[in-house]
Amino acid sequence: MTDPRHFVDIDDLTAEELHTVLTRATDLKERERRGKHHPLLSGQTLGMVFEKPSTRTRVSFETGMTQLGGYAVFLGPDDIHLGHGEPVKDTARALSRYVDLLMARVFDHADVQELAEYATVPVVNGLTDDAHPCQTLADLLTIREQFGDFETPRVVWVGDGNNVAQSLVLGAAMVDLDLTVATPPEYDIDDAVLDRAAELGTPPETTTDPRAATEGADIVYTDVWVSMGEEDERAAKLERFQRGGFRVDADLLGPDTRVMHCLPAHRGEEITDEVMESDRALVWDQAENRLHAQKGLLTWLD
């Protein structure tokens, strides 16, 4: 038996494999819009382990498996005690006897790494505190749809150097996307992630000045300032980001700048309602592309 392919971090793929997954996602999306369902995962089951709740992750993975002819089993925090009632390695080995693929949306990145180490089926990272590679797949798919390639657009991340930002930094380096990251200095991208990006391609420019960073940007991308599990930091983070001018509003954007957000959005905090509801928002394309990108990934992993 060959070792399964896993997707714990975006750079578990090579650059060539990343382009392959995105192209497959585009193909499946076009087929679906023509009403052509392809049961490429007929009879297969995806086990979904959730410590963190999510609307888009659960619905996109379940719908994707259904469209591909398979099934999805939801295992929420009340159904499974990952690393508490049972060691992670035991959960990995037991679930591998029941399902064909595993997806985990958890807090500790090490838990997904351990699942992948001991599982005998492919493991997908649906989000951890350190990384959100499935979101990066959807983001890159959205950017390529809008511009036709990755050489044309200039993309600027504005806000917290969180898990979404860190995966985007790696994915951008892999496809040679021009990326600038603007964060407060105390909430910047981890140095180890920047070092990995430099090994993969061109690392992003980094700055603490969001206004200077967004001049001439084709896309400005933001996310919530306070992630799940950071509620005790909420007041301090809101004050810091507001004081630093990191809110994405009309004044921060050029006349042709498009806007991305991975959702859920805290309107009035990191982004205004006006921008979210404007024609410049690519937010809903991103949300839809979680479905298509993950279908491309699942069929590649199989």
Active site residues: 105, 132, 135, 223, 262, 290
Judge whether 19 is annotated as a binding position: no
Judge whether 163 is annotated as a binding position: yes
Judge whether 54 is annotated as a binding position: yes
Judge whether 286 is annotated as a binding position: no
200 Cβ contact list (under 8 Å, min separation 6): 11, 15, 170, 173, 174
Judge whether 290 is annotated as a binding position: yes
Judge whether 185 is annotated as a binding position: no
Backbone angles phi, psi at 299, to 5 degrees: -70, -25
Question: In angstroms, what CA-CA distances link 294 with 60, 111, 134?
Answer: 8, 21, 7
Judge whether 154 is annotated as a binding position: no
Judge whether 65 is annotated as a binding position: no
Closest CA relative to residue 137, chosen from 269, 28, 44: 28
Q: d(Cα 4, Cα 95) in Å, to the nearest integer?
A: 14
Q: d(Cα 115, Cα 107) in Å, to the nearest integer?
A: 13
Judge whether 56 is annotated as a binding position: yes
Residue 63: CB atoms within 10 Å: 15
Judge whether 82 is annotated as a binding position: no
Specify the DSSP element, H or E, that contains 114: helix 109-118
Judge whether 133 is annotated as a binding position: yes
Q: d(Cα 173, Cα 193) in Å, to the nearest integer?
A: 11
Q: d(Cα 237, Cα 235) in Å, to the nearest integer?
A: 6
Judge whether 207 is annotated as a binding position: no
The binding site for carbamoyl phosphate comprises 54-57, 105, 132-135, 262-263, 290
The binding site comprises 54-57, 105, 132-135, 163, 223, 227-228, 262-263, 290
The binding site for L-ornithine comprises 163, 223, 227-228
